[in-house]
Structure 1
Amino acid sequence: MKYIIVLCDGMADEPLGELGGKTPLGAAKTPNMDVLAPKSEIGMVRTVPEGMAPGSDTANLSVIGYDPRRYYTGRSPLEALSIGVDMEPSDVAFRCNLVTLTEEQDTYEDRIITDHSSGEISTEDASVLMDALKKGLAREGYEFYVGTSYRHLLVQKQGKVVELTPPHDILTRRIGDYLPKEPVLREMMEKSYEILSLHPLNIERKKNGKNSANSAWFWGAGTRPALTSFEEKNKKRGAMISAVDLLKGIAAGAGMHNIPVKGANGGLDTNYAGKAQAAVDALLREGYDFVYIHIEAPDEMGHQGSAENKIKAIENIDAYIIGSVTEALKAAGEEFRMLILPDHPTPVRIRTHTKDPVPYLLYDSRHTFKGMREYNEETASQTGILEEEGYTLITHLFDCSLAELS
C-alpha cells in the first residue's frame, strides 16, 4: 500500500461574484478530482489550532501529523533546516523576504508594500541581491543565508524572538505601522532599501518591466525546532517533493528525504509534471511508502489577488499531478490512498491567509466511500464531517482498516 498527500497550498477560497458565486476550486475544470469525488471521503479539517496564526508553517506541520502547539517554534528555523544551517539553541532565525516597496515617498516608513515576492524573483537574481546585503549589512552576530526565489534567512547569535509582521499580510499598506520595534532589525531593513533600490540589477529589472526587489523584510522569528522522526512515528518511509524551503525544512527536521525536481520553483509555471514523475518514481522504484507533494502556486496566486491564475494553478495540479499519479499507480497495479487538500485558505479578495477549515478528499483505490458529486468547499461543508484537530488527519490516511461502504 502506498500513500500520497497532494498539498495544494492556499487553494481554499471564498465564493466570488466574478465566478458566479463559485470559489476558484469550484470554478476550475478538474476532471480527475471529479472522477475521485463520488468514490472518496470528503469533509473539512481545521489545520490551524485556535490561537495560532494561519501560516503555511503551522498548517503544514498539522497536515503532516505534528501538533503545532507542541512542535512549532517559528517559521524561519524550519527553513534553516532545509538549507543546512546548524542553529545553536540560543540562535534566532528570521525569514528575510526580498519585497517590492513604492519609491516615490520621501521616507522609508511612508512607503507601501506592493509585492511580498518581488514578482516571484528568480533565485539567480535574488542571490546577486543577497550578496549585496551580506556586504552592506554585515555586523557581528548576524549572518545571512540564501534560500529560494524571494525567501531567504537571517540568523542572529544569542538572539531573542520578537513579534514581526508577515509581508503578505500588509500588501498595499503603508509599512510604518508594521516595522520592527527591535532597533537593529529596523535599521537593517531601512539600510537594505538604500542598498537595493539603486542596485544595477534592480535598475535593469525595472527597465524590463519587472518588480524591483528593493527591500529586505524580516519576519517569522523562531528558535531551533525538534521534530520526532516521521518514520518512527508512522512506520512509513516518507519523502517530500516541494520547491519551498519551509516544506523542505519540515521534512529535514522529521528525517524525511527531500526529492529535488528540476524546474520546480513555487510559482504558477512550476514543473508540475516533474513533481508527479518524482512521486511515482519514489513510490514504485525507490521503495518509499509515502510522498508529500507540495504545490505552492495556488497560494502565490491568492496573494497576487488573481482568481484567473489561481484557477489555472488548480487545473494544472489536477491535470499534471493528480491525474498522472493516479494513472501511473493504477497502471502498475499498486494499491494506494491519496489525500488531497489545501493547508489553509488564501482568498484572492484579501490576498492573505485565513484560519478557516479547509476541504479534504480521501481516496482509496480499494474502497468506495460515500462521496460527493464534486470536491470543493461547498460540497465538503455539506457532508457534516469536520476534523477538529488537523494533525490527526494523517492517521486517518494511514488507517487501512476501514470497511468497504458500497
Structure 2
Amino acid sequence: MKYCIVVPDGLADYPIDKLSGRTPVEAARTPFLDFLAQNGQLGLVKTIPNGFPAGSDVANLTLLGYSPREYYSGRAPLEAASIGIKLNDDDWAFRCNFITATGDVLEDFCAGHIKTDEASVLIKLLNEKFGNDSIQFYTGKSYRHIMVYKGAQKMDARCFPPHDIMGQSIQKHLPKGNGSEILIDLMERSRAYLSNHDVNKVRIDLEENPANMIWLWGQGHRPKMPTFKERFHLTGAVITAVDLIKGIACYLGWDIIQVPGVTGYLDTNYTNKGQYAVKALETNDVVLVHIEAPDEAGHEGNVHEKILAIEQVDSKIIGPLLEAKNIFRDLRILVLPDHYTPIVKRTHTPEPVPFVAYGSGIEKGIGLPYSETNARASGLHIGEGHRLIEHFISGIFR
C-alpha cells in the first residue's frame, strides 16, 4: 500500500459575501478533490487540541499522528532541525521573523517576503552586533529564521506570533515573562541597525517593505519523539518549501525531497510538486505534499489568490496523484488543510478542518463534494486528531 497526504495549508475558510456566501474552496473549480470526496470518506478532524495555539506546528504534528500534548515543545526547534542546527537539551530555539515596523505598528509580518539572499546579509549583521557565546542567529528562508539562546536564563516568556498582530501595537505585544528583557532588548536594538542598512534602503527605493526589525517567538527545546517508522512501520518523504515541515520530517526520519521551483509562496511550482510526489511514491510508503500558498493568501486577505492556489493544488497535484492509481495498484490519498486561515481574519483559527480519505479499501461515505459545510454534515468527526493517521493507514473510518 502507498499513502499520499496532501496538505493545502490554511485552505479552510468561512463563507464570504463577495463569493455569494461560498467559501474559497466552494467557489474554486476542484473536480479532482470533489471526486475524492464523492467516492471516499469526507469528514472533520480536530487538528488543534484545546489549549494549543492554532499554528501549523501543532496542526501538522497532529495530522501526522503525534499528539501535541505528548510531543510538542515549540515551533522553532522543529524549524531548527530543518536547517541543520544541532540543539543541546537546554538550548532555547526561537523563530526570528524579519518584519516591517512603522512607528509602533507591526505593518508586515514577513517584510514583503524578503528574498533569502537579502535576509542572509541581515542575519550576518545581527550576528556581528549581537552574537556571542549565548546568542546566535541562523539563516532560514525568506523572512523565516532562527535564533538560538544557550544562556542560563529560563526563556519561557509569552511571545506573540507576528502574523496574529498585523496592524496592531508593537509595544502591547512584546514578550512577557521569563527572559523577556533579553528578547525585547534584541528586538528593539535590531531596529536601529536594520533600518539604515543598504539592503533596506534599496527595498524602500523599490517600494518594497523593509526588514527593519526582528520578531522573536515560537521558542522551545529540542523535542523527543519516535520516528514514523518506529511508530507505524512505514517509510516516508516530504515535499515542501517550508522549514517547519522539513523540521518535522527530520524528527520523523523522513526524506526531504528537493523540488525545483518551490517557494513556499503563491508563485510556487505546483506542477513539479505533483510530478515529484508521484515519483517519490516509488521508493517510499508515505509521501506528504505540503503547499503553503493558500495560507499565504489567507494572511494577505486575498480571496482571488486563495481560490487560484486551491485550483492549482487540485489540477496539478491531486489530479496527477489520482492518475497514479494506474501505476500503484494499492494507493490511498488523504487531503486536508492543517488549520483554517480565514480571509476575513487573516490569521489561523482552531476549528476542526474538512478532510477526505480515498483509495484502496476505503469505503464510500456520504457522496458529497468537498467543502467545509459538507464535511460538517457527514457525521464523521474525529475529535482526537492524532488518530486520523491510524484510520487512514487501516482504511477503516467507522
TM-score of Structure 1 vs Structure 2, range by shorter chain: over 0.9
| 2:118 paired residue number | 125
| 1:108 paired residue number | none
Match 1:385 to one of 373, 380, 390: 380
Pairwise mapping of residues 326-341 of structure 1 onto structure 2 (< 5 A)?
Answer: 326-327=322-323, 329-341=324-336
- Give the distance between the partners of 2:251 and 2:19, measured in 1 at CA: 40
Pairwise CA RMSD of aligned residues? Answer: 1.4
TM-score normalised per structure 2:
0.96
Q: Render the CA deviation track for 1:257-304: whole Å, top value 9, x for unaligned.
A: 1111122111011111111122111112xx201001111111111111
Q: Render the CA deviation track for 1:126-172: whole Å, top value 9, x for unaligned.
A: 11221122212223300111111111000000352221000011011
Superposed displacement of residue 193, structure 1: 1.1
| 2:288 paired residue number | 292
SS in 1 for 2:51: coil
Superposed displacement of residue 333, structure 1: 4.4
Pairwise mapping of residues 13-32 of structure 1 onto structure 2 (< 5 A)?
Answer: 13-32=13-32
Match 2:218 to one of 220, 228, 242: 220
Match 2:263 to one of 254, 262, 265: 265
Which segment is superposed worse, 116-125 or 336-345? 116-125
Pairwise mapping of residues 5-20 of structure 1 onto structure 2 (< 5 A)?
Answer: 5-20=5-20
| 1:372 paired residue number | 367
SS in 2 for 1:384: coil
| 2:97 paired residue number | 97
Q: Quick check: 2:391–2:397 contact (8 Å CA) kept in 1? A: no
Which segment is superposed worse, 38-47 or 123-132? 123-132
Pairwise mapping of residues 3-402 of structure 1 onto structure 2 (< 5 A)?
Answer: 3-102=3-102, 105=103, 111-158=104-151, 159-160=153-154, 161-181=156-176, 182-284=180-282, 287-327=283-323, 329-365=324-360, 367-400=362-395
Superposed displacement of residue 349, structure 1: 0.7
Q: Quick check: 2:2–2:328 contact (8 Å CA) kept in 1? A: no
Superposed displacement of residue 366, structure 1: 5.2
Superposed displacement of residue 34, structure 1: 2.0
Which segment is superposed worse, 216-225 or 31-40? 31-40
Q: Quick check: 1:149–1:265 contact (8 Å CA) kept in 2? A: no
- Give the distance between the partners of 1:133 and 1:272, measured in 2 at CA: 34
- Give the distance between the partners of 1:367 and 1:43, measured in 2 at CA: 13
- Give the distance between the partners of 2:348 and 2:368, measured in 1 at CA: 27
TM-score normalised per structure 1:
0.94
SS in 2 for 1:51: coil
Aligned residues between the structures:
393
Q: Which runs of 5+ in 2 are unaligned?
A: none
SS in 2 for 1:294: strand
Q: Quick check: 1:8–1:298 contact (8 Å CA) kept in 2? A: yes
SS in 2 for 1:319: helix
Q: 1:402 to 1:375 in 2, by over 3 A?
A: closer
Superposed displacement of residue 368, structure 1: 4.9
- Give the distance between the partners of 1:155 and 1:219, measured in 2 at CA: 11
- Give the distance between the partners of 2:395 and 2:26, measured in 1 at CA: 29
Which segment is superposed worse, 205-214 or 367-376? 367-376
Which segment is superposed worse, 55-64 or 303-312? 303-312
- Give the distance between the partners of 2:386 and 2:238, measured in 1 at CA: 17
- Give the distance between the partners of 1:280 and 1:213, measured in 2 at CA: 38
- Give the distance between the partners of 2:7 and 2:174, measured in 1 at CA: 32
Identity within the alignment, %: 46
